[in-house]
Amino acid sequence: MKRTIDRGVVALCLFSTVLIVAMLAIILGDIAIKGWGRLSWEFLTAASSNGMTEGGIFPAIYGTVVLVLLMSVAAVPFGVLVAIYLSEYALKDSYLYRATRIAVSNLAGVPSIVFGLFGLGFFIQTVGGAMDRALYGGNTVFGQPSILWASMTMAVLTLPVVIVTVEETLRSVPQDYRAASFALGGTRLQTIFRVVLPQSWSGVMTGTILAVSRGAGEVAPILFTGVAYFLPFRGALPPPSAPNEQFMQLGYHVYVLATQSPDVEATMPLLYSTVFVLLALTFLLNISAILIRKRMRAWATT
Partner 1 sequence: MSFTSEPDPSSNDDPSSHEAHDESGSENRPGVSRFSGTKAKSNLRLRRRLDKLAENAIFGVSLAAISIIFLIFVYVAREAWPLIAGAVEETSVGAMFMSPFEWQPVSITSRYSVIPLLVGTLKVTLIAMLVGTPVALAAALYTAEFAPPRLKEWIKPTVELLAGIPSVVVGFFALIVLASWIQDVLGLQFRLNAFTAGVALSLAVIPIIYTVTEDALSAVPRTYKEASLALGASKVQTAVRVVLPAASPGIGAALTLGLGRAIGETMIVLMVSGNAAVLSLDPFSGARTMSATIAAELGEVIFGGEHYRVLFFLGVLLFIITTGLNWVGDRINTGLRKKLFGNA
Q: Which is nearer to partner 1, 144 or 199 (CB)?
A: 144
Contact region with partner 1 (CB under 8 A), list: 43-51, 108-116, 196-204, 231-239:
108-116
Q: Which of 16, 40, 45, 140 binds partner 1 (CB under 8 A)?
A: 16
Q: What is the DSSP string of 191-251?
A: IIIIIIHHHTHHHHHHHHHHHHHHHHH--GGGTTTTB-S-----SSSPSPSSTTS-B--HH
Residue-level length of the chain:
302
Q: Which of 151, 271, 273, 296 binds partner 1 (CB under 8 A)?
A: 271
Residue number, 180 or 237, with CB nearest to partner 1: 180
Contact 207, 162 (CB under 8 A): yes
Which region among 27-35, 39-47, 52-60, 240-248 touches partner 1 (by CB under 8 A)? Answer: 27-35
Residue from 84, 27, 22, 8 nearest 283 by CA: 27
Instruction: Mark the segment that binds partner 1 (CB under 8 A) among 24-32, 49-57, 165-173, 234-242.
Output: 24-32
- Using CB under 8 A, which residues numbered 154 to 213 contact partner 1? 156, 159, 163, 178-179, 182, 185-190, 213
> Taking CB under 8 A as the rule, does residue 259 contact partner 1?
yes
- Under the criterion CB under 8 A, does residue 140 sit at the interface with partner 1? no
CB 16 to partner 1: min, Å: 4
Of 300, 97, 74, give the one whose Cα is nearest residue 202. Answer: 300
Q: CA-to-CA distance for 28 and 20, rounded, in angstroms?
A: 12
Show the binding pattern over residues 215-244: x = contacts partner 1 (CB under 8 A), - = does not.
-xxxxx--xx--------------------
**Nearest Cα residue to 89 out of 198, 203, 196:** 196
Q: In whole angstroms, what is the distance from residue 26 CA to residue 31 CA?
A: 8
**Distance, CA of 180 to CA of 197 (rounded, Å):** 15
How far apart are CB 246 and partner 1 at their closest, in Å? Answer: 13
Ranges within 36-95 binding partner 1 (CB under 8 A): 78, 81-82, 84-86, 89-91
Question: 187-192: long-range contacts (C-beta < 8 A, 24 or more apart)?
Answer: 188/88, 192/84, 192/88
**Least gap, CB of 215 to partner 1 (angstroms):** 10
